[in-house]
Every structure is written in C-alpha cells, then in structure tokens.
Structure 1
Amino acid sequence: MPLRGPLRLVAQSVPLAPSVLDDVPLTHLLPADRALAWVRDGDGIVGWGEAARIETSGDDRFTDAGAWWREVSAHCVVRDKVGVPGSGLVAFGSFAFADDSGRTRGRAGGSSVLVVPRVVVGRRGATTWVTTINESALAPTPRVAPTDEPASPEGVVFTDGSTSGAQWETIVSDAVRRIEAGDLDKVVLARDLVADLAAPLDVRAPLRRLAAAYPNCWTFHVDNLFGATPEMLVRRERGLVTSRVLAGTIRRTGDDARDLALAGSLARSSKDLEEHEYAVRSVADALEPYCSSTNVPEAPFVLHLPNVMHLATDVAGVVDAEHESATSLDLAAALHPSAAVGGTPRSTALELIAEIEHLDRGRYAAPVGWIDADGDGEWGIALRSAEYDGSRVRLFAGCGIVADSSPEAELAESQAKLVPVRDALTG
C-alpha cells in the first residue's frame, strides 16, 4: 500500500523524572481508546492515539509494511533526548500468521498492521520517558498520569471455537499418523475457545492482570489482539540479534517439590527434547544468512511460568556487514513461522495445518511487537493471546505434535495454555 506523498512526522522524546510516575505500572497509564502495549517486568512501552497506520495482507505483508516503515522513518524528524531502545519514532505491529488469513473473515484478525501512536510512554530500568509524534510540527508534552480503573469483564461464557476438545483430539491423532508415516517430523496444531461477555471488552482490565500475573512474559496489545507471550521471536539492538525459543511444555501443579520433579522430567523427555530441537534448529538456520556468528547453547533450560514450564533456548547472533540494513521486522519475517509454531519441514507442516486444523489463526502465533526508526525492535510470537471484537473474544492455544504425542496429553497442554487469558477475563 504506497504512501500518497511523503508522510512527514515529527517525533520528540523527553525524559521524565522518576517521581512523576512513582513506579506506576505502564499498563495503568493507558486510555480506553486506541491503546498499545509492550511491557515486561515493569519495563517496556505503551502508546495511544494514531499518527499513522498501514494495513497489509497476503504473502507481501511483511515486505509492504517494511517498505512503508522505511519511508516513514526517512521523512521523520526525530528529536530524541533519551537515546534508549524504544525512544524516538516507534511503531507497534502485529502480523497475520498465514498468507491467506482473514480472506473469508473480513479485516478483524486477518490484516497485518503497523501503528504509529501519537503518545508513547516508556520505561527502561531507571529511565522513564514520553514521546510525542505529530504531523509536521512538535506537539506539547502531555501530562502523564494513571487512568481510571477499567471495568472488569462480566457475564463471561466460554464455548467451543472451531472444534470441540474431542474433535481436536481426532485432529491430533491424524497428525500423529502422518508423522509416523514419514510425511513430516513435527507439526504445531492450534485450537480456539470463544468467550462471550455481557458488554464490550475494556482490554485494559485483562492487560493489567496479565502484566501482574506473568511479569516474565511480554504483555502486548495491538489492534484488538492482546496476550502475554513467553517467546521472543527476535530482538535486534545495535547489531546484536537474540531469539528465545520455546518448545516442550509441562503443566505445573502448584506444589513446589512436585514441580521441581516435573521440571527434571521435562528436561529429560525425549519427546519434548525432539520437539525443542526442531524449533531451535529452524531459528538458527533462519538467522544464519544474516549473522556473522551465531551462538546456540548445547542444551535448553527450563523456563518456569506460573501455569506451565517450557524447555527454552536463547539463540544469539551478530548482524554481518552485508545485512546491517536488515531491520528487526525483516528478521521477524525471515523467522516466521518457526518450527515452534509451524513445524518441520516448514512447507509440509503448513500444508498439513491448512488441511486439518479447521481454524483461521488470524494473528495468533505470528509476530507482534515494535520497531524504531533505526530498524531496531522486539518481535514476540503472539502466544497466550486472544483477539476481540466488541463483546466476543477468541482465545488461542497450540501444541507441537511429534511421533510420541498423545492426543489426550496435548489437549490437556492446550487447556493449560489457555489459562492466562481465561483468568485475565474472569479475574
């Protein structure tokens, strides 16, 4: 979608004194309308308003959005008195999982989007700042203060989404048969759950709950998609590239001694280690053409979250001279979909997903995050997430299926992965 002439924005970032917000959570600053969020462990950025926007779709969605962002950045005047990741000109983004996502469902959940907010508030360690973005001229620095208490969702009723639990188990069994026949090594299958509310959702309520309950995840909201993802698809910061890969999951019991034993069994599980290795290798292979060096740890660690534990590996690399102009969005596009959300081999897994999953994922399991004028940024995978339209919310969960997968165990795992958003809606 080309620009109608250069869009000329002015972005100004100024530091705030620490006492201005008094450690107020960033999610408590959001207004009800056009809120944007990307926060983790108290740090991150939130925004509101809309200075510019692009919606893209199809197999060129990343390329079109990237070209638009380069042109917007090239014509923007940036006055940044903060100089940390997330200050200056930024856009929040969320992309569709599949090339054909949303073609039969309309815009909601199907389009990919980059949004440049009018106001951004950020925090990184002891540094807090506010950014204003406007057309052609500087805007006055707004007063930043906590907003009103959002209304909690009421009358929440959950029903099956595209398939029932029993139907989904049958789909998993079909996938296992395909894997045992040698058609592929791994496929990730998703399912959805529908929540109907008594009134339109004020997304600030579940956002606040997710940020408080899952501080080690990245809590996000972009264009009616929200969640708290534990998985960083890619971070690019001044030439350093990092990616956190998660694959292999076990549900926590709430008993510390029992959970410690379960973590040990997860770390030794041949089924989960196999699933994890496919995901790590797909990320390392996708990053290798862009990096002069890549570090892949020999063994994963166990990431402990309140509801589940995952096998996790942090992959790191350094962008080489030939690809120094590759932005974080370019890298996210190269990585998507990794084996953690698609499967191995990628093309075969995606074909099987389209054939048997019976679900339009929308923007679930696809890149969500932010990018700045230098191309640095953070893109997570939209997991533990939901999309909403008025009073209807669709929750998503997915599981990696390999030869040793049990349909009953995978259904239980998917139910555990639905817990964060379910709890955020029900309080």
Structure 2
Amino acid sequence: MSTGTSDVDRLPPVAADEPRPDGPREALGQLVVRTVAVADPGPLLDLLPREEPLAWVRRGEGLVGWGCAAQLRSTGADRFADASAWWADLVGAAVVRDEVRLPGSGLVAFGSFAFADEPGDSVLTVPEVVVGRKGDTTWITTISRGELLPPPALAATASPQPPTDVVFADAHLDGERWQGVVAEAVGRISSGELEKVVLARDLLATSTTDVDVRWPLQRLAEQYPMCWTFHVGGMFGATPEMLVRRERGLITSRVLAGTIRRTGNDERDLALAATLARSSKDLEEHEYAVRSVADALAPHCTSMNVPEAPFVLHLPNVMHLASDVAGVVPDTDPVSALELAAALHPSAAVGGTPTPVAQALITQIEGMDRGRYAGPVGWLDADGDGEWGIALRSAEVGEDRRTVRLFAGCGIVADSDPASELAEAQAKFVPVRDALTSG
C-alpha cells in the first residue's frame, strides 16, 4: 500500500508561527494531487495501515487516509485562522487533477482542533493517500510533492489486534469530587452568573500492549453506525454531533443537548424517550445549544431553517434531544467549512451560555485540560466543502501508545442533580470503553 514517496519527498510540516513569504509556493512547496474513481475495495476502515491512519466514516461512507504530505500544528486563539490561511496557501499552489469532482475528492485535509485557546494543540494533516466513498462512487486520491503518482493497489490490511489486560482508573477527578464540582456549578447558575455550563471528566485506560487505534475504530463503526467514526492525530471516537457540514452552498448542523441513559428494555426506553422530550431541564439545555448555533450561522446564510422542537435521537447506549439546523450560503460568500466550524466553536452544547462566562468557569473548576476533546474534528477540501463534528464519545492515545484517555461531558443547568450527571457521564464513556475491551 506504499505510495512510493520517500521521507525526502514529503512536504515538511510548517509551524503556525513561521512567517509566510509572499509567494505561497516558496513557503509551502507545490502539492500534486490526482483523484480517480476505483472499484469498491470493501470497508474503508479495513484499508488503513497501522501507522498514520486518518478516518472519518459513517454508515460505510466517508474518507480514510494515511501518510503525511503536509501538516500544520497550531495553538492559541488564532489556531483556526492560522489553519485557514495555511490551507488557502496550499490550495492556491497545488496542481490538481480530479476526475471525480465530489465533496471530499481532490486535495483534502483532516483536522482536529483544541477545545480551548490555551493550553491546546491543534493539527491539520494532508495525507499522501485518501480513499473516499459517497453513494455508489469510490475514489482514491494521491498527494505528493512535485510529481504525479499512480494510485496504489487497495486491499484490506492485516486485522488489528485488541489491546490486552486493559484497566480503567479515574484520571483527574474521581466521581465524588466531580459531583462536588457539578454542585458548585449549579450554585453559580442559581446565583445568576450564567445559564448553563458543560463540565467534563476523564478516565485513563492502560493496556499491557501497544494500542492499535484501528481496533477501537472498527468496533465503534460497527456498534454506532449512525455516528461519525473518526481518528486524527491520536484523537479517536464516534461522535453523534455534526458541528457543521458545508456541501455546495448548503450548510447543516446537528445539535445534541439533553441526554437520558437507555435501559435495554425497548418498552421502558420508549417511555424514557417520552420523558426526555417533555423534560423542562433538558428542553432548556437544548434551546440554549440550538440558539447558539443559529446565531453563529445566521451572518453567513441567506435563509435558515431552525426547528421549533427537537426530536429524540436513539443510540445504543443513550438517547439525545436533537435538532438539525440548515442554511444556504450565497455564492458571494467564500466561507469554508473550517471557517464555519471556527465561528460555531464552542457552541453551548460543549461550552455553555453565556459562552465567555461558561468557558471561564470551566477553566476555574473543571480540574483538567480537555486537549482536543469537544473541539472540532473532521475534514476540508479545496472547494471549502467539508464536515466537522465535535470530538465527543472520544479518547486520545498517549505518546507511549499504552495509555488512552477517555472523555465525557454533561450540560449543567439550574436544576441539574450531581448524581444524575455522574451517571450520564458514565454512560457516555461506554462506547469507547467497550471498543477498547470488546473481543
């Protein structure tokens, strides 16, 4: 599955704080890109090699990639702007032969961005090989520096092996201390400081062997086909929440806020779904989230559709209140999917309301660095189309490859109960926890 590109041929990463010369070709070099249609090679995730895999897959469709033709790492409040400028330079200099012309074909980058301005490490990676599928069309894209490469033969790689003897432990805060943090947040909300805050906690999984991220990716895709299964730069998961999709002028955003745990009894779960749909606490939380998304998208849209009431999204482990917000971007607005994601982040669904107050409270009481948890994750193409989810139901593989940090968060409002919120967080750990331990 090698592309034949040596390390010398790769375009070296460019740091966000490096000055960019006036000519983008001198700054970044010229990428040569070729996309051709191919026969269906089977499940996309089965094509991934162990090293440098990239993934964004839902219900068998999406994109996978490997290798590194170019990469940007950035930090700070300007991380999105730096990435957008770097991407514009790459696109402007690239030579592209695209025989497919679908969103996700041609020049593509995968990205994962930090939740907070500081601290945080964000990454945008252009693979050497991308394989995509949409409907009945499958394609392969090769990306290199200075030469047009033939597409490699596609075949399933050797099956990944599961992690061994995985044990879990509380990371920064145990359950009791985290409930105390929730109680403090409820007190702040009740005093009128803010309306909502999203608080997260983490677990640390340790394996006696190196974790091959393809193992949990394949388990997540099998168990949660309605979610977007992703991996970028060590961050992986199966998110149910689409922050923003831009496809040829149409933008959509799926908002999730308000959660209840499933019991496994269908009749009981239907009753719980009805309870969730009537819950004033959850409806209030959901309204905050929808309003924040609609307000952020409105400046870029000529028309918008904001549902008056949410629907209940059923997942294997939980149910959510969900709303799909849609809008139309005029041809005169060149805003990209990445720029829209930057405008939306952080929404009330992962931060709170008002956002600046909620973020300050998170920094003050949450007790951990979120890293790229709850930040935008997804992909972007040269036309500005792309899909960016929120890195939820997610985890990050440590540099030692034997530790994995799992994340879960809950929206806290005035009548939140700390014990109930802890139970909700535990339910949100289940997808990744099971993916690491299932045989």
TM-score range, shorter chain: over 0.9
Whether 1:136 and 2:146 are equivalent positions in the alignment is yes
Deviations 1:126-168 (A, max 9, x none): 1111110011111111000000011101010101111000000
Whether 1:255 and 2:265 are equivalent positions in the alignment is yes
Tell me which residue corresponds to 1:335.
344
Tell me which residue corresponds to 1:32.
50
Determine helix, strand or coil for the equivalent of 1:5. Answer: helix
Whether 1:203 and 2:225 are equivalent positions in the alignment is no
Native 8 Å contact 2:249 2:331 kept in 1: no
The residue identity in structure 1 corresponding to 2:56 is W
Whether 1:77 and 2:88 are equivalent positions in the alignment is no
Tell me which residue corresponds to 2:76.
58
Match of 2:382 among 373, 388, 392: 373
* Distance in 2 of aligned mates of 1:381 and 1:345: 19
Native 8 Å contact 2:290 2:323 kept in 1: yes
Tell me which residue corresponds to 2:309.
299
Tell me which residue corresponds to 1:418.
429
* Distance in 2 of aligned mates of 1:359 and 1:283: 26
Go from structure 1 to structure 2 and tell me whether the alpha carbon gap of 1:321 and 1:125 turns closer, same or farther (over 3 Å shift): closer
Equivalence map 1:238-317=2 (5 Å): 238-317=248-327
* Distance in 1 of aligned mates of 2:52 and 2:337: 24
Tell me which residue corresponds to 1:8.
30
Whether 1:127 and 2:145 are equivalent positions in the alignment is no
Shift of 1:203: 0.3
Whether 1:400 and 2:411 are equivalent positions in the alignment is yes
* Distance in 2 of aligned mates of 1:30 and 1:394: 22
Whether 1:118 and 2:150 are equivalent positions in the alignment is no
Superposition CA RMSD, Å: 0.9
Determine helix, strand or coil for the equivalent of 2:124. Answer: strand
Determine helix, strand or coil for the equivalent of 1:174. Answer: helix
Tell me which residue corresponds to 2:6.
none
* Distance in 2 of aligned mates of 1:45 and 1:161: 32
TM-score by length of 1: 0.96
* Distance in 2 of aligned mates of 1:152 and 1:141: 30
The residue identity in structure 2 corresponding to 1:97 is F
Query: Which ranges in structure 1 are unaligned for 5 or more consecutive residues?
Result: 102-109
Determine helix, strand or coil for the equivalent of 1:99. Answer: coil
Match of 1:154 among 155, 159, 164: 164
Tell me which residue corresponds to 2:118.
100
Deviations 1:62-88 (A, max 9, x none): 000100000001111111111111111
* Distance in 1 of aligned mates of 2:212 and 2:255: 31
Determine helix, strand or coil for the equivalent of 1:58. Answer: coil
* Distance in 1 of aligned mates of 2:190 and 2:94: 54
Tell me which residue corresponds to 1:183.
193
Deviations 1:225-274 (A, max 9, x none): 00000000000111111000000000011111111111111000000000
Tell me which residue corresponds to 2:13.
none
Deviations 1:340-388 (A, max 9, x none): 0000000100010010001100000000000000111000000000001
Deviations 1:145-202 (A, max 9, x none): 0000111010101011110000000000000000110110000000000001101210
* Distance in 2 of aligned mates of 1:17 and 1:351: 51
Query: Which ranges in structure 2 are unaligned for 5 or more consecutive residues?
Result: 1-15, 21-25
Whether 1:217 and 2:227 are equivalent positions in the alignment is yes
Shift of 1:292: 1.1
The residue identity in structure 2 corresponding to 1:265 is T
Determine helix, strand or coil for the equivalent of 1:383. Answer: coil
Match of 2:176 among 162, 166, 178: 166
Native 8 Å contact 2:32 2:144 kept in 1: yes
Shift of 1:320: 3.1
Tell me which residue corresponds to 2:244.
234
* Distance in 1 of aligned mates of 2:363 and 2:391: 19
Native 8 Å contact 2:246 2:337 kept in 1: yes
Native 8 Å contact 2:297 2:340 kept in 1: yes
Shift of 1:321: 4.8
The residue identity in structure 2 corresponding to 1:154 is T
* Distance in 1 of aligned mates of 2:114 and 2:29: 25
* Distance in 1 of aligned mates of 2:118 and 2:409: 19
Q: Percent identity?
A: 66
The residue identity in structure 2 corresponding to 1:71 is D
Whether 1:351 and 2:369 are equivalent positions in the alignment is no
* Distance in 1 of aligned mates of 2:271 and 2:155: 45
* Distance in 2 of aligned mates of 1:416 and 1:394: 16
* Distance in 1 of aligned mates of 2:105 and 2:356: 38
* Distance in 1 of aligned mates of 2:313 and 2:165: 34
Determine helix, strand or coil for the equivalent of 2:433. Answer: helix
Native 8 Å contact 2:105 2:132 kept in 1: yes
